[in-house]
Structure 1
Amino acid sequence: MLCSKTSKDHSKANYCKVNHEAGIMDKYKMEPSKMATITPDGLPAVKYPSSKSPSDNLPSDGFCKGIRVTLDNNNMWNEFFRCKTEMIVTKQGSRMFPYCRFRISGLNLSRNYSLVMDIQPLDGSHYRWTGKSWQVAGKAEKHVTSQPFAHPESPSTGQHWMQNPVSFYKLKLTNNILDQDGNTILQPMHRYVPRLHVVQTDTAPKDINLNSPHVVTFTFPQTEFMAVLAYQNPQFAQLKVDYNPFAKGLKEDSSITFG
């Protein structure tokens, strides 16, 4: 399954920060205008930066304060990114596919760390699918802040985190603004990007302050996605089937679902 390519527009492959540096919205705030073209009705259509081939993927590594984080399933994320990734959100919560899986190095072997993920709006717009492309449809709805999702094994030693890839497949996405189950609350038809926070701490994850100077944050642009209630782009829906034949609602004879 191949998707049409757009011109590559990313000079920065990934992004990391400590809490006092520029936030993620500062990095992205100029990009919608740089990546937009005007549609016949006068509104900008979203153009996602993309690589030309699998060998020209957006890089998988981020490095900050001596810590290296690698997006372990980078090839899959890049292929989905070229097809403008969509993620289903449901009232009960739906798991991401692909989910984020990382390899981590550079941690102190004996100190404890928590790994926490959250998902942030990428811009201030609400979108709609025209049948051919994504297009700005108005101002974004107010973002509902969710409790960040801590990896269930947090806190653990640096040695523990570095010995195997770390998967966040249990993180679920919901559009239920009253959710009490720990799911990440998102608005459909809005653009988002996941963030990984590495925190050196002995405290329980629920007590972590992500504004602490001990927090190091990693972001990979190829993991950005559009939150949707149902897949909009038929090419993308087919790509999901190609990678995940049991994708919910995409294969009539499936008895197993992801989400």
Structure 2
Amino acid sequence: MHFLCRSSGRMFPTVRVSFSGPLRQTTPSDRYVVLLDVVPMDSRRYRYAYHRSSWLVAGKADPPPPARLYAHPDTPIGPDALRKQVISFEKVKLTNNEMDKNGQVEERKFRKADKARMSSPYGWVKRCGKAKALRGGGAKVARCSWFTGLFAPSPVAASIVLNSMHRYQPRIHLVRLVPGQNIPNSPKELQEVDHKTYVFPETVFTAVTAYQNQLITKLKIDSNPFAKGFRDSSRLTDFDSYSGM
């Protein structure tokens, strides 16, 4: 189960993926972007039956919210860099509020100060942050990201809108971008670029606005790094007494 709220909350457990093997690259300037979306598993709405401790079909699904793609902030990157790191979607958020401002995909133009730190080979734009010293000292290194043109999806577009009491399947999309192509912002745009989709059945979940099982609630609080405020002993008294029965 994943918990939904109107103000959006981080997805937990976190989806993490890594890539290995040869990756197609037609030119040295090709870059890869990793996208995540969450799609309905079926056309049904569910309810939790406490006496059975199971989910039952409660009717037809509600109209789906607008589909959104979340682009990992460390991409686009080259194939060698992609194979060396784990792509963690720890910053993606889930909400049941279509008006949540974190879910609006915006286009942002770089400021003049940003342009001074850019180079643009074959239509790609490189944006580098302020150089920082690595842990342990040594030379300073600037973290850089690549975008196409002078526009890129806003990094605050971090929320995916879902309906409560519906079942969902997260999907990972590996997209190869050639110079001049933009990062897809919708499933329709995704179909227009070279990509491959990965689906992991073990990541299927039911979206809820309240957990249906106290043991699940305690497990989430104990394991979720974003639930630190709930791990106060006074707030866990009820859960501890329940688990000891």
TM category (shorter chain) comes to: 0.5 to 0.7
Q: Could you tell me which amino acid in structure 1 is paired with residue 44 of structure 2?
A: S
Q: Is the 8 A contact 1:115 1:151 kept in 2?
A: yes
CA distance in 2, matches of 1:213, 1:150: 14
Q: Is the 8 A contact 1:87 1:96 kept in 2?
A: yes
1:218 counterpart (171, 190, 198): 198
Give SS of 1:205's match: coil
Q: Does 1:204 find its partner at 2:182?
A: yes
Give SS of 1:155's match: coil
TM-score by length of 2: 0.63
Q: Could you tell me which amino acid in structure 2 is paired with residue 91 of structure 1?
A: R
**Per-residue deviation, 1:157:** 0.7
Give the number of equivalent residue pairs. 170
Q: Is the 8 A contact 1:90 1:175 kept in 2?
A: yes
Q: Could you tell me which amino acid in structure 2 is paired with residue 133 of structure 1?
A: S
Q: Does 1:160 find its partner at 2:81?
A: yes
Give SS of 2:81's match: helix
Q: Is the 8 A contact 1:194 1:224 kept in 2?
A: yes
CA distance in 2, matches of 1:198, 1:225: 22
1:130 counterpart (49, 68, 74): 49
CA distance in 2, matches of 1:230, 1:117: 24
CA distance in 1, matches of 2:221, 2:47: 23
Gaps of 5+ in 2: 104-158, 236-245
Gaps of 5+ in 1: 1-85
2:216 counterpart (215, 232, 236): 236
Alignment of 1:71-82 (within 5 A): none
1:180 counterpart (101, 126, 131): 101
Pick closer, same or farther for the CA change 1:138–1:117 going to 2, 3 Å.
Answer: same
Q: Percent of counterpart pairs with the same letter?
A: 39
**Per-residue deviation, 1:133:** 1.3
2:17 counterpart (99, 102, 106): 102
2:207 counterpart (227, 251, 258): 227
TM-score by length of 1: 0.60
**Per-residue deviation, 1:135:** 1.0
Q: Could you tell me which amino acid in structure 1 is paired with residue 33 of structure 2?
A: S
